[in-house]
Structure 1
């Protein structure tokens, strides 16, 4: 079982790196890109013995306690069976 965790800055937090990337894309003739928000991506391989509910609880706990800074970041996840 695999979990895909996406961590991004909260929308209220300035994403300076995202702005730099967006500016670079405009200079490289990609004016259709209006903004960029960058983040982190994690793939967690979980034990096959976990039930769906247990896997979800484990991923939420790991993401909130280890992978993110809850003051400035938020996360989403998807679990593949």
Structure 2
């Protein structure tokens, strides 16, 4: 079960948040670092993400890749 912290739950929240992909799992899933000391499992079926990428997640679904691993922030 997912434990939510504050106003930023990537599983059930009404906002999209940036998280970092830690590792990819089978069935288009990924384990992500929420930046709050917790990890969650999200779907990456709609994006082409890799470990180390920063993705935008809403309702446990990755909706965009914000930054690729190793790329400079612009």
Q: Check whether TM > 0.5.
A: no
More relative contact order in 1 or in 2 (CA 8 Å, sep 6+)?
Answer: 1
Higher strand share: 2
The structure that is helix-richer by fraction is: 1
Normalising by structure 2, report the TM-score.
Answer: 0.26
Normalised TM-score (structure 1): 0.24
Give 1 or 2 for the bigger CA radius of gyration. Answer: 1
